A and B are shown apart, each in its own frame.
Chain A
């Protein structure tokens, strides 16, 4: 029994070139290792998550009373603009790209992404975007105050008259983030198409990889449209073209089409990887194969396709003609089908399993239950008459926060806990993790549930002040918001202390199937000593069948018998 992983010299661990740091310092270098980049993405974006969260708590502080009495209205408008922009462009997108970066090459048995240097360049654009966003607080006139949609004509209004203003910085930041995402998309799609290990056919590819593929394809076809719109908006602001400026004959509605053609599918860019995470976490902690794996995998691509034709449902109350409203109502509702397939599949997966309530499992289950709720309110929103009432109200705010926080952020947490032992070789603290889950789940419900009734009563979104009748629900939501802020503390404590001094747990503490669990924890620079040859599907729980054919015994600690080939080789 040759134990390769132990013989591999330490030099292979850190950087793929001599003299590179082999400790925490490597996370501050221009590393081309997808695992280093993945963690760089995750940590950087989490930092911005905290900033975006702080902004939201100031907003909830303002909204705890009906009057605009904590911050000036311009500040409030800047707060929700920057909250939305930072949370999407600096947290949700990058953190999921980070998880994808870390996991996809490992899961498909590749040694790195297809274009490692491009990968590093994509990452290092993220801090630049963040600095631009934050810097806009310092320019005269303050940051963009037109919402994360930046709808003209409001986004074209420039009270200070400066060419260097918050809105211009915002567009630049979004454009750079777009370039980074497109490069990332090219990288992911190429990696997934071209670099799967021998034997890993499409229907042996883990559901997470499928979902990342679906998400990145959306980036590739959607982002350019937003970029096109953003370029035109920038020209309108800076050199006085008239694309979207009504006083010069432009058409502000066209911007909305450009914007939502990408920005609705962008929701699926974020939620698909979360779906993938659920599909990975559930089988491991319920000890059962993913139910209907093929359909779940294919439904990711179905979502990619359908999501290209739903964007007008954000514009039912805009100047859209009747036929457009009806057509897009039907297409939007069709999204319920692939989403439903997934939810039913997950329920069937845990049904009759051997469930363990580990922290990642709790987050995955919580995320699924929230997604179920958000999906149903989503069908409400797709219906034209209902949307005409609740469009631009807190009902929508509640709905998409249920998607973003309830499902996606929960999914991200599930992923971080689930793969934490893989990334660090150490185990997080289960007690802190469970506390974190309880606070997060409670906070989500307390913050975002009350927004639904407030919206049904007619409270518009983006208001700094509101009528007294909405006060009750807003106080609840504000308390919930502060609770969500609090909930990050046990998480941070958990991650930091577990990374430094957590229990070392070997390579596969969950006894999980999957190529990523075949290698050491943390994996060496090029992941696998020998390229694995995949011989079966990704979720072989209960079958006692080997996953790879060419590694007789990986020689990894605590490796479950069920994963290795015992008799034949």
Chain B
């Protein structure tokens, strides 16, 4: 009788947990910025799977945990001990084997997603002049749409090549075909883009959260990096690897636009003459070293000497300066 009740309770709880996990897995998509690249969708699907399983494990463990905290308390004058159960071989084998299978599965799924994203390892430093086509063997769906998008972008149009230079503390984007430089990254939608990442001084991190992609930029290395934007809009590029004093200010806008607008922008930019762009780090540095003490960017606690920022980059195109004081 007791056993039946226990099984019943456990079944009901398992169903509840499964439903909650499913709900969390669905919910997880809302925790991210917009999915602006094909790779982002792949990642979000993977993350959703992890969230669902993670929730299931969390609730599966915390349920019995809380249950015994509520129901297995000693009464006030009960000085006796609990039952001397020291272990249970079967149970222990099960809870070693199940996580093992689970993590191996998760590793495998992650690996497949990684392959589909076709993130290029930096060991492929040499310029391979062939697009990395995804083999059909990996084409089985977990959700095959983003992979299709990547593949279409690779197959239907030439890959856009953009050189990215990171320095303390600015991002400079160079479009080699048109020989244009910009401090704002413009990308055509639905096309495969290949970046060549370079750093002039220290480690930086090329990170666009809306694309879910990130790659450290290493001085003396040229790192190839590919992605496929699929959604127009303006996103943020952030420096993700700590790079010194003005690290937090080392950001840039990423504008994903339809191909014709992108072409137009390139043409306009080519017409523009190179001018120094606004650079947040250089601006703050000059403010901080302005000893007259009347500027608004003063802080409560003054700091120490810093590496001076590189002079503001001279580029064909710079976005209108944000309304800073």
Contact = CB atoms under 8 A, between A and B. Distances in A.
Interface of A: 68-75, 77-78, 140-142, 145-147, 151, 153-154, 157, 159-160, 246-247, 249, 252-253, 286-295, 317-322, 325-326, 329-330, 333-334, 336-337, 340-341, 343-345, 347-348, 350-357, 365, 368-369, 372-373, 376-377, 379-380, 383-386, 388-389, 391-393, 453, 456-458, 460-467, 511, 537, 539-543, 562
Contacts of A288: 81-85
Contacts of A466: 248
Given A319-B221, A357-B73, A74 B303 contact: yes
A141 B73 CA distance: 57
A256 to B, nearest CB: 9
B50 interface: yes
Contacts of B83: 288, 352, 542
Interface string B202-243: 110101011011111011110100000000000010111111
B268 interface: no
A386 B248 contact: no
Nearest to A339: B99
B32 A457 contact: yes
Nearest to B81: A542
A430 to B, nearest CB: 14
Given A353-B72, A389-B214, A458-B238, A380 B80 contact: no
Contact of B207 (A287, A333, A458): A458
B214 A145 contact: no
A537 B84 CA distance: 12
Contacts of A377: 54
A59 to B, nearest CB: 12
Nearest to A344: B95
B56 to A, nearest CB: 10
A337 B299 contact: no
A326 B108 CA distance: 9
Nearest to A246: B219
Contacts, number: 318
A317 B205 contact: yes
6 contacts: A74-B304, A151-B241, A249-B220, A351-B64, A380-B54, A541-B84
Contacts of A383: 46, 50, 106-107, 110
Interface residues of B, number: 93
A527 B298 CA distance: 60
A159 B306 contact: yes
Contact of A352 (B82, B119, B251, B299): B82
B92 interface: yes
A140 B306 CA distance: 11
A72 B31 CA distance: 31
A72 B110 contact: no
Nearest to B44: A389
A351 B88 CA distance: 13
B179 interface: no
A388 B241 CA distance: 12
Interface in B69-97: 69, 72-74, 78-88, 91-92, 95-96
B283 interface: no
A140 B203 CA distance: 25
A139 to B, nearest CB: 9
Given A159-B307, A160-B305, A383-B110, A388 B248 contact: no
Contact of A333 (B103, B215, B306): B103
Contacts of B207: 392, 458, 460
Contacts of B62: 369, 372
B86 A380 contact: no
A453 B72 CA distance: 35
A259 to B, nearest CB: 13
B205 A385 contact: no
A458 B210 contact: yes
Contact of A562 (B81, B100, B240): B81
Given A73-B303, A457-B209, A458-B238, A337 B68 contact: no
B245 A73 contact: yes
Contact of B106 (A70, A341, A379): A379
B322 to A, nearest CB: 11
Contact of B214 (A142, A153, A157, A317): A317
A308 B57 CA distance: 26
Question: Chain B binding site: helix, strand, loop or mixed by DSSP?
Answer: mixed
Interface string B38-70: 000011001100100010011001101100110
A388 B303 contact: no
Contacts of A287: 74, 80-82
Contact of B209 (A357, A389, A511): A389
A317 B215 contact: yes
A365 B61 CA distance: 13
A222 to B, nearest CB: 23
B122 interface: yes
Given A330-B107, A372-B58, A542-B83, A78 B304 contact: yes
Given A72-B288, A294-B87, A457 B33 contact: yes
A337 B103 contact: yes
A460 B239 contact: yes
B63 to A, nearest CB: 10
The 6 closest A-B pairs by CB, nearest first: A458-B209, A72-B303, A74-B303, A542-B84, A463-B248, A354-B74
Contacts of B241: 151, 317, 392
Nearest to A70: B300
B130 interface: no
A388 to B, nearest CB: 5
A321 B224 CA distance: 12
B240 to A, nearest CB: 4
Nearest to B243: A154
Nearest to B67: A351
B182 interface: no
B261 interface: no
A291 B86 contact: yes
B151 interface: no
A330 B158 CA distance: 36
B242 A147 contact: yes
A146 B243 CA distance: 8
Given A353-B72, A354-B80, A465-B249, A347 B303 contact: no
B46 A385 contact: yes
Interface string B283-308: 01000100000000001111111110
Nearest to B73: A355
B171 interface: no
B299 A70 contact: yes
A337 B245 contact: no
A355 B69 contact: yes
Contacts of B242: 77, 146-147, 151, 154, 392, 461-462
A320 to B, nearest CB: 7
A214 B306 CA distance: 42
B201 interface: yes
A205 to B, nearest CB: 15
Nearest to A540: B84
B247 interface: yes
B220 A388 contact: no
Given A391-B240, A462-B247, A562-B81, A386 B50 contact: yes
B245 A74 contact: yes
Contact of A321 (B58, B123, B215, B249): B123
A157 B307 contact: yes
Contact of B248 (A317, A465, A511, A539): A465
Contacts of A458: 33, 207, 209-210, 236, 238
A154 B31 contact: no
B61 A347 contact: yes
A383 B236 CA distance: 24
Contact of B245 (A77, A293, A318, A340): A77
